[in-house]
Chains A and B, each alone.
Chain A
Amino acid sequence: MDENVIAFEKNQPIETDIVIVGAGPVGLFAVFEAGLLGLNCHLIDNLDKVGGQCAELYPEKPIYDIPALPYCTGQGLVDELMKQADPFKPAFHLNQQADSLSKLEDGRWRLETSTGTVFHAPVIVIAAGAGSFVPRRPPLENIEEYEGSSILYAVRKMEALRDKKIVIAGGGDSALDWTLNLHPLASQVTLVHRRDQFRAAPDSVDKMRQLVANDEVDLQIGQIKELKGEGGQLEAIQIKSSDGELYEVPCDVLLPFFGLKMELGPIAEWGLNLDRDLITVDTEKFETSVPGIFAIGDINYYPGKLKLILSGFHEAALMAQQAFRYCRPDEKLVFRYTTSSTDLQKKLGVI
């Protein structure tokens, strides 16, 4: 198969009822509410997993304010929501960010992601929480000059790092995993961390310590203060040790791993009415200033808004009612309960 055919297939639009931007708890529950009305959903998330903040920030932390769930963990909640959404077969498109949005001639939306996945759908639901998770960038002078060439936040091609002097900054799993993966092919790997303790998997820490003991990896306890280089090419980084001493380490490529932050990203350019970084919606349908685009959960704003998962669930249910009208304009919507409706129970796969 030649490359053109693959490119063509990749850009074949996916036709669906609703595209949900964000696979956090509210996006997942929206799958359920839409599913009860017979609407199909595709979800996009920039993380490599579902669950949003619940899975990324506090998977092990307790949550006590979900109705009828006196206690659950962040990940526990996500797992249960996945179970609840499962009968409606949601499709997940992870590791990509919702990028551009435009209107098709037939009135539906065309949404394209950062990796080129294209959707055609009558309804877009933004359930993006506090925004997409993106790598946290160190506040170092002139850092943007080096980003993409000498400073990478993710390793796409290991081979490109062969025989380079690599500095890895951070003390978590990403920093440790890449230290272990890259040291065989790099000419030198220096791991820089602010303290001599690592919160990565103990096995990775042991392996790293062994490499340091054998002089195969250089471990520096300190923090990066300054970048040195020219024309986008790093030559060295300046490190400040814990006792305040400044020194330089040669460096071709710097990989900073300081976790993730959240930012609204391309959605900010979609022409929706915003209130600071929040999308304003009505409280009847949770629709934005643009018909057919909804915003639910932490990302929206209306008078009285409370940023609770609970509120997002309610918003998802009301959104689905209006979404049905866009997706099935010729059908009449009848309101039913899961307790008594055989139709809904069939959709849920319980009868």
Chain B
Amino acid sequence: MSYIVVVDREGQEHRLDALNGWRVMEIIRDHELPIKGECGGCCSCATCHVYVDEAWRDRIPKREDEEDEMLDEAFSVEDNSRLSCQILFSEDLEGLRVYLAPEGA
């Protein structure tokens, strides 16, 4: 089974089974880690914000403009910030490592 690694806001690591074609947001949500994904994955909210591990930054497709715009509603946005609904899992991303970003208060 393919997998990704998600580090939660407390710093704990989770190795999650991942299926081809699933959005990373969906994988995280399916494993019941605390990610909202309020809009259901259509890049219309900013509640699935993650940081992509530096080692992976250049190995996943870059942000589209729409995603960059939506990140305006997120907090503590960094160069490696992504909306996880916009990262489609495939075998190329086996072992992808992301960190859950802080949510609003």
Contact = CB atoms under 8 A, between A and B. Distances in A.
B104 interface: yes
A57 B39 CA distance: 7
A144 B42 contact: no
A57 B45 contact: yes
Nearest to B39: A57
A171 interface: yes
A57 B44 contact: yes
B75 A223 contact: yes
Interface in A217-258: 223, 258
Interface stretch (B17-25, B53-61, B65-73, B89-97): B65-73
B8 interface: no
Q: In the complex, which of the residues A171, A194, A258 has the most CB atoms of chain B within 10 Å of its own CB atom?
A: A194
Nearest to B104: A136
Given A58-B44, A139-B105, A261 B38 contact: yes
Interface string B26-48: 00000000001011101011110
A309 B85 CA distance: 21
Interface in A280-338: 307
Contact of A194 (B38, B39, B47, B72): B72
Given A223-B75, A223-B77, A58 B105 contact: no
Contacts of B102: 139
A139 B68 CA distance: 20
A143 B105 contact: yes
Given A139-B103, A143-B105, A223 B72 contact: no
A137 B105 contact: yes
A144 B105 CA distance: 9
Contacts of A136: 73, 104
| Chain B facing A: main interface SS | loop
B32 to A, nearest CB: 10
A130 B38 contact: yes
Interface in A57-107: 57-58, 61
B91 to A, nearest CB: 28
B47 to A, nearest CB: 7
B104 A258 contact: yes
A193 B69 CA distance: 12
A222 to B, nearest CB: 10
A22 interface: no
**Size category of the binding interface on chain A:** 20 to 34
A5 interface: no
A172 interface: yes
Contacts of A223: 75-77
A140 B104 CA distance: 8
Contact of A193 (B47, B72, B104, B105): B72
B39 A261 contact: no
Interface string A164-188: 0000001110000000000000000
Contacts of A199: 69, 72
A223 B72 CA distance: 10
Nearest to A224: B75
A148 interface: no
B105 A194 contact: no
A53 interface: yes
Contacts of A172: 72-73
A22 to B, nearest CB: 15
A58 B47 contact: no
A130 B104 CA distance: 16
25 contacts: A57-B38, A57-B42, A57-B45, A58-B42, A130-B38, A136-B104, A137-B105, A138-B75, A138-B105, A139-B102, A139-B105, A140-B105, A143-B105, A144-B105, A170-B72, A170-B73, A197-B69, A199-B72, A223-B75, A223-B77, A258-B73, A258-B74, A258-B75, A262-B38, A307-B40
Given A195-B72, A261-B38, 18 more contacts: A53-B39, A58-B39, A58-B42, A61-B44, A137-B104, A138-B75, A138-B104, A139-B102, A143-B105, A170-B73, A172-B73, A193-B72, A194-B71, A194-B77, A258-B74, A258-B104, A261-B36, A261-B104
